[in-house]
Amino acid sequence: MKILTPEFLNANFFMKDEPLEDVNILPHVMPHQVHGKNIITVDDENFSRYSLPERPEADGILLTTSKAEASLRFADCAPVLIWGKSFAMLLHSGYKGTVLNISGAGVELVSESVKDLHAWIGPCIGREIYCRDINDEWTQKGIKSFHRENYDYDKADGKIYFDLAGEIKSQLLEAGLDERNIILTEINTYEDERCYSYRRGDKVKRMMLH
């Protein structure tokens, strides 16, 4: 899936069984994802320190150099791409990362005017599927941090249903992005066979934001 970005930025989201095309042979930054909010900044000076075989723990990459490429892996968690005139930022916003507002943290890292930023929210598990037990510690954190319109409580099964994509969009709007500059794919990874889905049984294979 080609992401519509300016000519200077070549961004793709590789779904299930899609060949890895347009991948340059450059130093590659691919951190070990830990479902947090840490974002590493990769620039002209330090790109070799973060490139493979090194795999620092992080769920976001702020890329400000053309000397390296970067990617993150997904199977139900939300891929988020934020870009401006001088950078591209890749984010892995799973449930915990969304609770911690990794998208808002990413926007705070950049110096460009927020109104000039663009964002793409890719395929992720849908609101009607992603549920958690109401008594779970992280569920309670989600109830406190998510905007109220982005979760539902089902008394029948005692579960809270969370809208990851909807909450990420709310967080980006709250951070100051123009709604016209936010692209939401609205693809449910659990229901769409073009996608890998952890909850549907894909424990190892992943899609890639590159």
User: pLDDT tens digit string along 153-170?
Assistant: 988 888 999 999 999 999
Query: What was the pLDDT predicted at 24?
Result: 60
User: pLDDT tens digit string along 65-105?
Assistant: 999 999 999 999 999 999 999 999 999 999 999 999 999 99
CA dist 132 and 139 (Å) reads: 6
Phi, psi for 64 (deg, rounded to 5):
-120, 20
**Contact assessment for residue 30 and residue 55, using Cβ atoms and an 8 Å cutoff:** yes
pLDDT: is 16 or 150 the higher one?
150
User: pLDDT tens digit string along 47-74?
Assistant: 999 999 999 999 999 999 999 999 999 9
CA dist 99 and 146 (Å) reads: 7
User: pLDDT tens digit string along 8-50?
Assistant: 678 888 888 777 665 566 899 999 999 999 999 999 999 999 9
Identify the band that residue 1 occupies on the pLDDT scale cut at 50, 70 and 90. confident
Query: What was the pLDDT predicted at 192?
Result: 95
User: pLDDT tens digit string along 117-140?
Assistant: 999 999 999 999 999 999 999 999
**Contact assessment for residue 91 and residue 71, using Cβ atoms and an 8 Å cutoff:** no
